[in-house]
């Protein structure tokens, strides 16, 4: 049995961290669903930037958009929504079969709105309405500025993938924003079953400290942070507030492991996949990681509900001079800036392609 199926049967959802028009047109995504147990998909500005740079598959749609006066960000969202809605349709059967637990796709609002809650909410509502797909998450960063937008989006009934979380504390803040939105729906007499995942980024921790810690601690910080966060997630459902919400029909916000491709060429390509296996969570994998997993037929023990030795490990990182709390804040800030940079590069690609294709028309 392929390790992808083993992971699925273990109780963790495998989502693909990629989308391209070629992936859809070639039937590759459908094959991943049927053969590799893929049950969802995520996207971000960097993914779309790479897709547009490396493929001519979007050229006909760009030409058609230009004839309609569509340019820049408007044109991009036309292209992105076309891909995302096709992917959503591929996962619709999974969404129906699991009653909305799985089968989701994700699309991000403009990262340039990260510090503008009102504009983020407006953009989230517009994108969700345009997509007209019940299995679409709108990605909103779990920054301090993003938390009010997350609450408001959930209250408005818009499913949210909270992105750019790096620590237990950031995760708990996002979970609190989600719960406030749900509680407001309950108080207003609205259906509280609004889906959400909280995406915690893993590998960037290890990249950040690669040259700052002893060799025996290499590639262990991200997993330790994941263990600490997973333990906190396991404790949330037993709190009275969450139980009251569940009693009214609310759903748990699932924990999602993001950035799970191994960055160290000397480390196991499946380091994070094997270490982060845990029931009722999601691992969103780069395509290369998914393909590597499919070549194996074993997983290992996975995560312990209590986080295992995560606190002992984190104490060793502290002894090595790593301020975990400060690094979490830095990683989140750098992540937000990186997405803005990718967004600007993406719009530059759109502008360049528009100029070239428009001139050739």
Site of tokens 């491709």: 261
pLDDT of residue 115: 81
Cβ-based neighbours of 205, under 8 Å, separated by 6 or more: 166, 221, 222, 225, 327, 331
The upper half-sphere exposure of residue 241, i.e. CA atoms within 13 Å in the direction of its Cβ, equals 12
Which residues are identified as catalytic?
Answer: 139
pTM for the whole thing? Answer: 0.96
Count of CB atoms situated within 10 Å of the CB of 56 = 12
CA dist list (Å): 22 to 42, 76, 136, 178 = 16, 17, 20, 35
Amino acid 360: pLDDT: 64
Tokens representing 24?
A: 């859809």
Structure tokens at 265: 């060429």
Instruction: Return the residue matching tokens 């609002």.
Output: 109
Residue 231 burial (CB count, 10 A): 18
Yes or no: domain 3-356 corresponds to CATH 3.30.920.30: no
Say if strands 254-258 and 196-201 run parallel, antiparallel, or are unpaired.
Answer: parallel
Distances (CA, A) of 139 to 70, 91, 147, 165: 23, 18, 12, 12
Cβ within 8 Å of residue 24, ≥6 positions away? 83, 86, 87, 90
Give, for all 361 residues of the chain, the pLDDT tens digit: 899 999 999 999 999 999 999 999 999 999 999 999 999 999 988 898 888 888 899 999 999 999 999 999 999 999 999 999 999 999 999 999 999 999 999 999 998 888 888 999 999 999 999 999 999 999 999 999 899 999 999 999 999 999 999 999 999 999 999 999 999 999 999 999 999 999 999 999 999 999 999 999 999 999 999 999 999 999 999 999 999 999 999 999 999 999 999 999 999 999 999 999 999 999 999 999 999 999 998 888 889 999 999 999 999 999 999 999 999 999 999 999 999 999 999 999 999 989 988 776 5
Q: What is the pLDDT of residue 299?
A: 87
The domain spans of the chain are: 3-356
């Amino acid at each position: 049995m392929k390790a992808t199926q083993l992971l699925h049967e273990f109780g963790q959802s495998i989502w693909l961290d990629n989308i391209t028009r070629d992936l859809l047109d070639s039937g590759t995504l459908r094959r991943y669903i049927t053969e590799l147990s893929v049950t969802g998909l995520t996207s971000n500005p960097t993914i779309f930037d790479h897709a547009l740079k490396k493929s001519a598959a979007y050229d006909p749609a760009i030409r058609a958009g230009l004839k309609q006066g569509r340019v820049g960000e408007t044109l991009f969202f036309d292209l992105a929504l076309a891909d995302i809605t096709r992917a959503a349709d591929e996962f619709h059967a999974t969404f129906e079969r699991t009653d909305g637990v799985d089968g989701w796709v994700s699309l991000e609002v403009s990262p340039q709105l990260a510090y503008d809650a009102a504009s983020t909410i407006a953009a989230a509502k517009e994108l969700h309405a345009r997509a007209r797909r019940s299995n679409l998450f709108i990605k909103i960063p779990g920054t301090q500025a993003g938390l009010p937008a997350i609450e408001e989006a959930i209250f408005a009934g818009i499913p949210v993938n909270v992105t750019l979380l790096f620590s237990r504390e950031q995760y708990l803040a996002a979970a609190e924003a989600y719960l406030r939105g749900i509680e407001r729906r309950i108080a207003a007499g609205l259906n509280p079953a609004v889906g959400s995942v909280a995406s915690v980024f893993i590998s960037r921790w290890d990249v950040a400290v690669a040259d700052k810690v002893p060799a025996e601690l290499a590639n262990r910080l991200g997993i330790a942070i994941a263990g600490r966060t997973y333990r906190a997630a396991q404790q949330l459902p037993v709190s009275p507030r969450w139980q009251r919400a569940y009693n009214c029909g609310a759903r748990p916000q699932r924990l999602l492991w993001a950035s799970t491709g191994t960055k160290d060429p000397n480390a196991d390509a499946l380091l994070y996949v094997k270490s982060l296996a845990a029931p009722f969570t999601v691992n969103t994998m780069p395509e290369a990681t998914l393909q590597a997993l499919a070549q194996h037929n074993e997983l290992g023990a996975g995560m312990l509900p209590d986080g295992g030795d995560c606190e002992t490990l984190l104490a060793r990182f502290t002894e090595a001079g790593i301020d975990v709390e400060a690094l979490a804040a830095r990683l989140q800030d750098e992540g937000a800036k990186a997405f803005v940079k990718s967004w600007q590069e993406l719009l530059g690609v759109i502008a360049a392609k528009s100029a070239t294709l428009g001139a050739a028309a």
